[in-house]
Structures are given as C-alpha cells and as structure tokens.
Amino acid sequence: MSGTVLLTGATGYIASHTWLALWAAGFDVVGVDDFSNSSPEVLHRLQRLGDRACVFERADVCDGAAMRSLFTRHAIDAVVHFAAFKAVGESCAKPLAYYRNNIGGLISVAEAMGASGCKTLVFSSSATVYGVPEVLPIPESAALATTSPYGATKLIGENLLTDLGHADPSWRIALLRYFNPVGAHDSGLIGEDPRGTPNNLMPYITQVAVGKRERLQVFGGDYDTPDGTGVRDYIHVSDLAGGHVAALRHLMHPSGRSFTANLGTGRGHSVLELVRAFEQASGCHILYDIVARRPGDVASCYADPSRARQLLGWQASRDIAAMCADSWRWQQSNPNGYND
Ligand code: WQD
C-alpha cells in the first residue's frame, strides 16, 4: 500500500506519532499545522527519526483558501484530520472558539478535499462521544451523548461526515474514537507536550516525576470502582498510530467502506493503578492527594475493541508498563518538552 497522506494538526502529539507510522508503512506524508498548540521542533525530531525531510506547510485549517491551495500543490490520496482544540475544561469556558475551530476546520478541510476529488478521510474522534457510558466495555453501537462543548464538536463532526457520506457515497470515511492516549515513541524524541498545566493524568504524573510539579491531585476517591478512583482505557500512542495506518489501508483498499471504530485496549486501569505502574517503571515516587471529583468526569470508561480487530486486523499490543516507561523516557529526556 502506498500513497500520499495529508495530516492536519501534524506536529501534535498523536499526529506526529502517526507521521512516523505512515512513513514506516510506505506512505508519503504532507503535514499541515499552525503551531497554535504544538512546536516546530517536532519536525526536526521527525526528520531525525525518519532520516528524511518532512513535507510541511504552516497554515490554519480554518483558512479555506489555504486548504484549497494546498490540494493544488500536492497530490493527496487521503487525509487524517487531527487538527482540533482538545481541552474539555477550556471548551466550557470558550465554546465559540471550540465550535469555530473544530467544526469550521473540519468543514474547510472536507470542502478542499471534495474540490480536489480526494474523498478518503480519517476523522479523529473521541470516546467522549459516549458521555456517561451505559454499558461497559463500550461498543460502537452504544448510545451517544456529550457532556462538554469539546465532546459536542466531536459528535457534530461525526454526524457531519456521516451526512456527507450519505449525500455522496464515493466518500470513504473512518470515524476513530480514541480512548486515553498515553506514552511516547520509544526513542524518547517525541511525546506529549501540553502547554501550561496538564489537563490529562499521564503528563501531570510525568511532570511530578521530573520535578516540575509537587504533587498529583487525584480527582475523586469515591467512585464505584475497585479502588474508588476513575478507571480509563489507556492506549499507547504508538498503538494508536498503528490503528490509523490500519484504517487507511482499509479505506484505500478497493473493497474498503466507511466505518466507525473504537481505538482502545479493552482494559481499564484506575488512577492509582496508573500511579503505581508509573512508579514501578520509573523508580520515581509520585506524591498525591485524593481531592474532590472533577466536574464532568465519569467513573469508568473502557472500550470494546473487537470491531477494529475484526474489520482492520488491528489491536493494541503495548501494556501499561510500556506506556509508563515510554512516557517517562520522553519526559526525562525533555524536562521542558520541546522547549528545551
Ligand atoms: C483520566 C483520569 C481523571 C488528571 C479526556 C477527554 C478525552 C481525551 C483524553 C482528548 C480521570 C483523573 C486526571 C489529574 C486525576 N481528550 N485525573 N488528576 O478525562 O478520561 O479524557 O482526555 O481527546 O476526550 O475527555 O482523561 O487524563 O484528563 O483523566 O485524577 O490531574 O485521571 O479524574 O479519572 P479523561 P484525563
């Protein structure tokens, strides 16, 4: 399988790992990003890891003219649309910015694709579209609901693309619902580099371990879970990247059809289980306090990953120890992320 894949949000956490996986799978890649939530240094790291130049354009995906121009200058066979704001709490404070960027950007990219005749699209969705799960593990057929503007932009994006596929069946669209991406490329050269105070658990833990933060706040110790702390389906970002390659291979195959799939491991781990696994992997002691629940959090959320396994022949392979070891190697090598 070959071809040229456009990655939007290309210098972001998941996209940069997908970039490497696509190169390894024999694809060519064009990246586009506006660096609003990522660093140009990622390109240098990718070129070092891939031993090849990155084909990259700096642009805002909401800029329709820039997107149309990009498709006239590059022969794109498929697109993976990662570009979006992703902080749940921030989306509650800035809903208009989230709707404009996440929905407007998707429309702008899809319009430029349609105008150039490129109708193969992988959309970065999220388990957050399941809202408060009614059944565990969660199948793709589960009821959908959202609890934040961020989650609403993901669900609207899925519905928008589903309508597009109904209007024009020549589109081949994959809706990939990520659970909790963690970890880093095993080189330690690329990884998660959140700006400001990390919203997510793993980057907060690694910043405590490297001495940037004093203590972890565990949001809630009274959930209906084995140890009272929240349970999530953590998936290694390199496994997630492999899931995107498998999705593209499916869509680009002559018999490929549009689909929706969970990208998770099917296993849940609690906050305290992740803390303990990280301590074992890193040799660091993580100080923490159990405090009040975070508004909007659910007790447990983990995937039924069987559809991706059956349809794509893909499943996650890295365990929680590898996720912790790789996260630590990245943070230890880059205490200030890409700003070192
Ligand atoms: C995981 C667990 C927290 C931080 C969100 C989005 C999802 C995706 C991933 C974008 C929960 C607990 C966390 C901390 C804690 N984002 N926690 N202390 O909320 O499951 O998912 O991020 O694509 O769409 O919804 O991930 O890492 O924030 O939280 O105790 O400082 O860790 O309560 O149980 P979440 P998370």
**Cα–Cα distances in angstroms (integers) from residue 213 to residues 101, 283, 285, 325, 329, in the given order:** 31, 17, 13, 19, 17
- Nearest residue to 209 (alpha-carbon basis) of 281, 286, 323: 286
d(CA 184, CA 324): 9
- Whether 244 contacts 168, CB under 8 Å: no
Between helix 13-24 and helix 41-50 the angle, nearest 10°, is 20
Which residues line ligand 1 at a C-beta cut-off of 6 Å? 86, 88, 126, 128, 178, 180, 199-201, 204, 216-219, 230, 232, 271, 294, 297
pLDDT in tens, 80-90: 999 999 999 99
- Whether 338 contacts 184, CB under 8 Å: no
Q: Domain containing 9 — which CATH number?
A: 3.40.50.720
What string of DSSP letters covers 198-242?
A: --SHHHHHHHHHTTSSS-EEEE-S-SSSTTSS-EE-EEEHHHHHH
Query: Which residue range forms the structural domain that includes residue 80?
Result: 4-181+234-264+305-317
**Cα–Cα distances in angstroms (integers) from residue 290 to residues 29, 50, 196, 287, in the given order:** 44, 42, 22, 10
Q: Which numbered atom of ligand 1 lies nearest the CA of 219? A: 30
Q: Which numbered atom of ligand 1 lies nearest the CA of 218? A: 30
Q: How far is the CA of 219 from the centre of ligand 1 (A)?
A: 9
- Whether 289 contacts 215, CB under 8 Å: yes
Q: How far is the CA of 201 from the centre of ligand 1 (A)?
A: 6
Tokens 């794109």 sit on residue: 76
251 in a structural domain: yes
Confidence at residue 2, expressed as pLDDT on a 0 to 100 scale = 87
- Nearest residue to 318 (alpha-carbon basis) of 186, 229, 202, 205: 186
* Residue type present at position 19: W
Nearest CA to ligand 1 atom 7: 128
69 in a structural domain: yes
Tokens 């589903």 sit on residue: 162
290 in a structural domain: no
63 in a structural domain: yes
Nearest CA to ligand 1 atom 22: 200
DSSP 101: I
Confidence at residue 56, expressed as pLDDT on a 0 to 100 scale = 98
Q: How far is the CA of 102 from the centre of ligand 1 (A)?
A: 20
From 294, 298, 323, give the residue whose CB has the most ligand 1 atoms within 8 Å, as the site to mutate: 294
Confidence at residue 47, expressed as pLDDT on a 0 to 100 scale = 98
State pTM to two decimals.
Answer: 0.98
Q: How far is the CA of 185 from the centre of ligand 1 (A)?
A: 21
Q: Which numbered atom of ligand 1 lies nearest the CA of 178? A: 23
218 in a structural domain: no
223 in a structural domain: no
DSSP 51: T
The tokens describing 223, both together, are 């959930």
Where do the H-state alpha helices sit in 25-148? Answer: 41-50, 64-73, 88-93, 95-98, 104-116
Count up the domains in the chain and report the number: 1
Q: Which numbered atom of ligand 1 lies nearest the CA of 229? A: 34
Q: What percent of the chain has pLDDT over 90?
A: 99
Confidence at residue 248, expressed as pLDDT on a 0 to 100 scale = 98
What string of DSSP letters covers 174-190?
A: EEEEE-EEE---TTSSS
Residues of the chain predicted below pLDDT 50: none
Known catalytic residues are: 150
281 in a structural domain: no
pLDDT in tens, 261-316: 999 999 999 999 999 999 999 999 999 999 999 999 999 999 999 999 999 999 99
